[in-house]
Amino acid sequence: MAHFYLDESLSEDVDAGGLIELAGAEARHAASVSRLRVGESVRLGNGRGLMLDVTATSVEKDRVEFSVDSVERVDAPRSRVVLVQALTKGDRDERAVEAATELGVDEVVPWAAERSVSVWTGSKVERGVERWATIVREAAKQSIRAFVPTVGAHATTSQVCERFTDALILVLDPTGSLDAEAKWRELVGDAHSAGRVLVLVVGPEGGISPVELEHFDAAGAHRVRLGSNILRSSTAGPAFLAAINGVLGRW
């Protein structure tokens, strides 16, 4: 079952043995790009935990009908993981968002860091958020995720700190004092047990400024150092997310 399709309008009220319809762009992709044929079985989800095994019974250019073979309702993770990703030049921030989605992040927040080369202003903010939403949707499809991550509002440092006052904030900082795996594993494990939100903060190419670090310190954040190597902005978030997935019981 190599293909997975998303239909966010798909109702939770669906049972095995019934018929459902896929229409619009997703149906066109199935029929024209994937060349889905009658009798083929695929997976279909709504991005909110509903996962169906279905078999195509009718395939047209803009419409595909499926019979429902089985229904699975996946529970949301106990602890949400949020990646606060600084805007970067080129596509490094987009690569980070894509990889983090494949690794199970629940939300990504575009962060207007002080040293970000890329700046979103005016209509660029809306276009940027829409672009990230497209990236997480496609990455969720590729990795056959039951839940599609949300894209938070474009935020400043102060807005990030104000929003996540009750969360465990982990700032990935090459100069951080929390450098032992046992220490951050304990923090993450305790937060997971309590059902707290985990926030991973990743700075831009030039790093997080001293003023921003002070803001995060005041918000109760912990500065985490991942080994002796300096990771790119596109790598740090996904690398740490992979490292904590075991603690979160996701792997």
Q: What is the DSSP letter of 30?
A: I
Answer yes or no: is pLDDT of 186 > 80: yes
What angle (nearest 5°) sits at the alpha carbon of residue 113, between those of residues 111 and 118?
85
How many domains does the chain contain in total?
Answer: 2
Strand partners, 73: 50
Strand 198-202 and strand 81-86: the pairing is parallel
| 132 and 166 co-located in one domain | yes
The reported pTM is 0.93
34 token code pair = 């994937």
The answer to whether the CB of 52 falls within 8 A of the CB of 45 is yes
* Residue that has been written with the tokens 């990771």 in this structure: 231
50 token code pair = 């509903």
| 198 and 95 co-located in one domain | yes
Last residue in a domain, options 54, 73, 92: 73
pLDDT confidence band for 141 (50 / 70 / 90): very high
| 222 and 132 co-located in one domain | yes
Mean pLDDT within 121-135: 97
**Phi-psi category of residue 2: left, alpha or beta, with phi > 0 → left and psi -120 to 50 → alpha:** alpha
Last residue in a domain, options 19, 51, 73: 73
Percentage of residues of the chain with pLDDT beyond 70? 99
| 35 and 128 co-located in one domain | no
| 226 and 203 co-located in one domain | yes
| 56 and 94 co-located in one domain | no
Helix (H, G, I), strand (E, B) or coil at 121: coil
Across 178-246, the runs of DSSP E, i.e. the strands, are 198-202, 222-224
| 27 and 116 co-located in one domain | no
CATH number at residue 57: 2.40.240.20
Write the pLDDT tens digit of every residue in 74-90. Answer: 999 999 999 999 999 98
| 92 and 192 co-located in one domain | yes
- Residues with Cβ within 8 Å of 59's Cβ and at least 6 positions away in sequence, in order, are 30, 31, 36, 37, 38, 65
The answer to whether the CB of 207 falls within 8 A of the CB of 238 is no
29 token code pair = 């992709």
Residue 129, φ and ψ in degrees, nearest 5: -65, -40
Rg (CA), the chain: 20
Last residue in a domain, options 41, 73, 105: 73
Percentage of residues of the chain with pLDDT beyond 90? 85
Answer yes or no: is pLDDT of 154 > 80: yes
**Residue span of the structural domain in which 39 resides:** 4-73
Task: Report which of 250, 242, 205 is spatially closest to residue 226, judged by C-alpha positions.
Answer: 242
Predicted pLDDT of residue 21: 94
Among positive and negative, which fits the CA dihedral 125, 131, 132, 137? positive
pLDDT confidence band for 251 (50 / 70 / 90): confident
Predicted pLDDT of residue 237: 96
| 106 and 208 co-located in one domain | yes
| 114 and 165 co-located in one domain | yes
Mean pLDDT within 123-141: 97
pLDDT confidence band for 2 (50 / 70 / 90): low
Helix axes 92-102, 123-142, angle to 10 degrees: 40
Task: Report which of 32, 80, 38 is spatially closest to residue 59, judged by C-alpha positions.
Answer: 38
Answer yes or no: is pLDDT of 229 > 80: yes
